[in-house]
Amino acid sequence: MPIYNAASDTSNPRKGHRLADIAAHDPFVLPYRHNETYYLYTTGIPRFTDLPRCGVLFYKSKDLLDWEGPFVAFTVPDGTWAHPQHGTWAPEVHAYKGKYYLFVTLHNRDRVFAEPPAVWHTNHLRGTSIAVADTPEGPFELIKPDAPVPPESFMTLDGTLYIDENERPWMVYCHEWLQVIDGTFEAIPLKDDLSEADGEPIHLFKASDGPWINGERTPGVEPSVYVSDGCQLYRTRGGRLIMLWSSYNKEGYLQTMARSLSGRLEGPWEQLEPLVYGDSGHGMLFQTFEGLWMLILHQPFKTPDSRAKIYEMEETEDGFKVVRARVDLHG
């Protein structure tokens, strides 16, 4: 299949791309102070790029306007639990104890858990793995190539790193609505070196807790299904613990937010009003080198039409609110 566009050609990375050019899904930005560069990570698949196998692409920018790339940070190797052709979702890179860690959702559709009519849609092995590198540019290598971090019997996605008040690392992830009908958010403790899980998962909340949510009716399935997607955690200047997440209301995909009433990962969690509507979601927050909070998400949901959109945000004692869409950056 031909390459989607010049911004998808890893054999010819170039300067001057705009966000409107880049087919970004599940975008994640890492501000790297060492060279005052923003790194944008997104999915790379053979269907729309020149990659022979699924991987993670990145782009570089000094100003969030002009981007250079694409470059390859990671490709799914042979001989692991994941199939190299079955997808790389929700890549994100975190600085942790002198290294850089890629969290990425991988898949193996050949390892089937359940099939119709027992379930309405085939359930297969899906979960987040962690890879490590010395720099934000990689190449990243899987730490645990034989299995994802969450339990293998769970169909999970969108794992992210959270460091709690005791400096203990956790992976927070989504438990697929495909498997549990009412998608959930869960967390599993990690070993200090992020090499593997270090305990049992805990339940945080379920997608249907959102009072605005719209359950999707699927033929042959009762009750409605509820999507859990795109978790990211932040602590405000007032000490409140916030989680960004995405799902659907009756108008479509949206970006929303929850807040822990205890200030701890265990919650309980209260659901806040959505931040961005209009088929927008899977967002994350980052600060510019000047200290401004920004939200980056994808809109619309469908690939390869999805593009990264940036919103300027205001941090409050209790959370975050949208100031304005930065159309000067995303077109």
Q: DSSP per residue over 186-247, as a string?
A: EEEEB-TTSSSB-S--EEEEEGGGSTT--PBP-TT-SS-BB--EEEEEEE-TTS-EEEEEEE
Beta carbons of 122 and 148 less than 8 angstroms apart: no
- CA atoms of 272 and 268, how far apart (whole Å): 13
* Residue-range domain boundaries for the chain: 6-326
Question: What is the chain's mean pLDDT, rounded?
Answer: 95
Question: What is the model's pLDDT at position 217?
Answer: 47
DSSP category for residue 225 = B
Q: How big is the chain by its Cα radius of gyration, in Å? A: 19
Please state, as a whole number, how many other Cβ atoms lie within 10 Å of the Cβ of residue 22. 24
- CA atoms of 43 and 276, how far apart (whole Å): 22
Question: What is the model's pLDDT at position 118?
Answer: 85
Question: What is the model's pLDDT at position 84?
Answer: 98
Among the listed residues 62, 91, 25, the one whose alpha carbon sits nearest the alpha carbon of residue 280: 25
Where the chain has pLDDT below 70, the residues are 1-2, 215-223
The highest-level CATH class for domain 6-326 is: mainly beta
- CA atoms of 25 and 42, how far apart (whole Å): 6
- CA atoms of 8 and 321, how far apart (whole Å): 33
pTM for the whole structure: 0.96
Question: What is the model's pLDDT at position 121?
Answer: 87
Beta carbons of 43 and 25 less than 8 angstroms apart: yes
